[in-house]
Amino acid sequence: MSQEPDRQQRPLAVLRAMIDTVDRDLVHLLARRTALVGEVAGYKREHRLPIRDPQREREILEDRLSLADELALSPSQIESLFRLILWGSRDRQATLKAEVPPECPPRVVGVVGGMGEMGGCLVHMFRDLGNHVIVADLQTSTTPAEVAEVADVVVIAVPIDVTESVLRDLGPKLRSDALLMDVTSIKRRPMEVMLESTAASVVGTHPLFGPSVHSLQGQRIVLCPGRGEEWFDWVRTMFKARGLVVTETTPEQHDRAMAIVQVLVHFRTEVMGRTLSRLGVSIDETLQFTSPIYRLELQMTARHFDQSSDLYSAISMENERSDEVTSAFAESVEEVRRMLLDKDRQGFAQMFEDVNAFFGEFTHEAMEQSSYLIDRLVERS
C-alpha cells in the first residue's frame, strides 16, 4: 500500500505573515489591557488603594502558569512575560497618579540644576505627579534665587562639589513654610548645611538610580528626615506614588552603607577598567569567547567609564570611609594574588568556604536572581 502523501508545507513567507498577524493581535490585546489598567488606577485613587497588590499578582502568575502548562508552553517564559506586563501595569498606574491622594494639592516645585540629567529626571517626575515645576540652571533666565523665593519646594540637584555653597546661598531665601531638599550621594554634611542655613523644612534624598533608567517603577530612593514632619510625609507620598521604593534612614547610616554600595563597587569597576586598558586586550576578540558573566561585567565597566568622572570622583572622594574600604580591597587583592601565584589550593578553598558562610541565606536568592539575569542577557545577545 502506498504511503499517503504529507500535507503540503506552507511557504516560509506565508508562515511569517501569519506570525506577524498574531503578534499584532497581541499588541492590540495589550492596548486593551492597558486601557483597563487605567480604569483600575482611577478606582484605586478614589478608594485610596495601593498600586501594588502582591496577592493579586501571585494569583495572576499562578493562573497564567497553570494555563501555560495546559498548553504545553514554557512556564519560565510565560512567567517572564507576565512579570514584565505586571511591571508595566504598575508603571502605568503610577503615571496616572493612582497613589496621589485626591486632596493633595499641587505644589510649586523649583529644581535648581533642572537642566542636568538627574535634575531633569526629577522635573519630569514632579510634573507627572501634577505639580507646577520651575527650573533654574546656568542656561535659564530664571535664577536660583528667584526659585528659592517663590517655590513651595526647592530641590538642589547640582554637582556634589558645589552643593554646600549653593545650599548656603539659597537656604536663607526660602520661606519658613517651604521645603529644602538635596539629592547628593553623601548625606551627613549636606544635611548639616541645610539645617544650619534655612528655617524651612529639610529633607535629604539620594536616588539610588541613574537618570537614564527607562522607568522609575521599582527604583530605590533614600530619605533622611531633617526638619518638618508634614513635608517629609509629602515627599514620601510623592516618591511612593511614582512607584519608587523608599528607604528611611539617618545621614550617618546612609553614608556608612554608601561606602560599600557605591565606593567599593565603583572602585572595583574602576580597577577592572584600568586593568583591561593597561593590558591592551582586544574587546572584540574576548567577546568571541565570552561567557554571560564576562559580558555583563564588561558592559557594566564600559557603562561606568562612559559617564561623568566628576560624578564618580565626588561619590568616592567625599565619603569619609573611602580610605578604610579601598584599603581593605587592596589587602584582599594582594591576599588572593598570593594564593594564585603560590598555587595555594587549600587557602583558596578555605577562602571560598569563609566567604560563602558570610553570604549565608542570601546565596540562594543570589543564585536564583542572577540566573534570571543571565538568561535575559543571553536572549538579547
- Cα separation, 306 vs 318, in Å, equals 21
pLDDT > 90? residue 378: no
- State the pLDDT confidence band at 125, using cuts at 50, 70 and 90: very high
Does position 3 have pLDDT exceeding 60, yes or no? no
Q: Confidence class of residue 34 from pLDDT cuts 50, 70 and 90?
A: very high
Query: Which residue has cell 567609564?
Result: 305
pLDDT at 372: 82
Residue type, 127: R
Q: What is the pLDDT of residues 71-116, one digit of tens each?
A: 999 998 899 899 999 999 999 999 999 999 888 899 999 999 999 9
Domains of the chain: 14-95 (1.20.59.10), 108-249 (3.40.50.720), 255-380 (1.10.3660.10)
| Overall average pLDDT of the 141-145 stretch | 97
- Separation in Å, CA 82 to CA 21, 55, 70, 77: 21, 15, 17, 9
How large is the average pLDDT for residues 134-152? 97
Evaluate if pTM is beyond 0.85: no
| pLDDT tens-digit readout, 212-255 | 888 898 999 999 999 999 999 999 999 999 999 999 999 999 99
Burial (CB < 10 A; 0-12, 13-18, 19+), residue 27, is exposed
Q: Which amino acid is present at 61?
A: L
Between 2-6, 258-262, 290-294, the lowest mean confidence (pLDDT) is in 2-6
* C-alpha to C-alpha distance for 158 and 179, rounded to whole angstroms: 17
pLDDT digits (tens, 9 = 90+) for 346-363: 999 999 999 999 999 999
Separation between Cα atoms, residue 321 and residue 260, nearest integer Å: 9
Can you tell me the distance from the alpha carbon of 147 to that of 152, in angstroms, rounded to the nearest whole number?
Answer: 9
Higher local confidence (pLDDT), 260 or 104 = 260
User: How would residue 268 be classed by pLDDT, with cut points 50, 70 and 90?
Assistant: very high
Residue 1: the pLDDT is 46
pLDDT given at position 373: 84
**Secondary structure element (H or E) that encloses residue 206, with its range:** strand 201-207
| pLDDT (average), residues 144-150 | 97
Tell whether the model's pLDDT for residue 4 goes beyond 70.
Answer: no
Label residue 308 by pLDDT band (50, 70, 90).
confident
Q: Which residues are within 8 A (CB) of 45 and not within 5 positions of it... i.e. 6 or more apart?
A: 96, 97, 98, 99, 100, 102
Confidence tier at 7 by pLDDT (50, 70, 90): low
